[in-house]
Amino acid sequence: MEIKIGKVERKLNQIIEEEGAVYLTLLDPEEENIEKIAENVKDYADAIMVGGSIGVVNLDEAIKKIKKITKLPIILFPGNVDGLSKYADAVFYMSLMNSSNTYWVVTAPTLGAITILKYNLEPIPMAYLCIEPAKKTAVGYVGEIREIPQNKPKITAMYCLSAKFFGMRWAYLEAGSGASYPVNNETISLSKKLSGINIIVGGGIRKPEIAYEKVLAGADAIVTGNLLEENPKAVELMYDAIKKAGREKLKK
């Protein structure tokens, strides 16, 4: 049977091909001001991720609120099997490959597979890799990670290559929500060159110039989350920096 790529993933790939990079915004469904945040990002994000590491409250209602404001694709970023909703468009079907607990590596996504099929969600296969300093963040604690050191970029790159051989088309290099610093450029560059799959980078990216350099290093997508709550006006600047870097990358 032919493996077909769904319309949300096709759209993301098209943006990467034409603009060089995608800007994804991550919304926490527990955020009280989720409608206001969605309003702030609707003209700049290419898609909206919804999810978190510590559980969810009324996920269906949160997504309904977002959909009233924007027609952007909504991609679930589930923290566990309860992070699924039939009102979303797609889901990052991910394996936390460097967790020390096999539940997060394979059992959780397996348990969620039937629900994904039932809800007719588009699965986007993705390796989820937690890079230093992620161990100090919520995902590090909940996901029981074996943190990959920043000064060992080859380890991350090998995980990305392994992900490709497993059939995954995306890898998310995660420093953790609210991380004190982002994934370094060498790790991003080597991971992209060795694997050739789409590389998402998130965590600790608070300034447009940081996002700009991550795209030039090889990131295909940039994720920001905390920024939306701390400084909503920065979203436009972040978008502009990502797209500028994307255009420059395409010219190379």
CATH number at residue 30: 3.20.20.390
pLDDT band at residue 18 under the 50/70/90 scheme: very high
- Reply yes or no on whether the pLDDT at 232 is more than 80: no
pLDDT at 95 over 70: yes
More confident residue, 215 or 35: 215
Quote the pLDDT of residue 2.
Answer: 58
Does any domain span residue 14? yes
Residues 9-21, mean pLDDT to the nearest whole number: 98
For the stretch 98-120, pLDDT in tens is 999 999 999 999 999 999 999 99
Domain of residue 246 covers: 7-251
Q: Give the pLDDT score at 149.
A: 96
Per the domain annotation, does 39 fall within a domain? yes
pLDDT (average), residues 84-88: 97
* Residue 80: predicted pLDDT: 92
Structural domains of the chain, count: 1
| 201: pLDDT strictly greater than 90 | yes
Give the per-residue pLDDT at 1: 46
User: Looking at residue 234, what is its pLDDT?
Assistant: 84
Residue 14 has pLDDT above 80, yes or no: yes
pLDDT of residue 58: 86
The CA distance from 132 to 146, in Å, is 10
Position 228 pLDDT exceeds 50: yes
Nearest residue to 63 (alpha-carbon basis) of 40, 38, 42 = 38
Residue 2 included in any domain: no
Q: Is the pLDDT of residue 186 over 80?
A: yes
Distance between CA atoms of residues 172 and 26, nearest Å:
13
What pTM was computed for the model?
A: 0.95
- Per-residue pLDDT, averaged over 211-216, amounts to 98
Higher pLDDT, 226 or 46: 46
Average pLDDT, the chain: 93
Percent of the chain with pLDDT over 90: 80
Mean pLDDT of 112-131: 97
pLDDT band at 30 (very low <50, low <70, confident <90, very high): confident
Query: What pLDDT is attached to residue 199?
Result: 98
User: What is the maximum span of the chain, computed from C-alpha positions, in angstroms?
Assistant: 47
Q: Has residue 1 been placed in a domain?
A: no
pLDDT at residue 81 greater than cutoff 70? yes
pLDDT of residue 8: 98
Residue 133, preceding peptide bond in cis (omega within 30° of 0): yes
Q: With 60 as the cut, is the pLDDT of residue 159 above it? A: yes
Please indicate, yes or no, if residue 105 is contained in any of the structural domains.
Answer: yes
**Is the pLDDT assigned to residue 56 strictly greater than 60?**
no
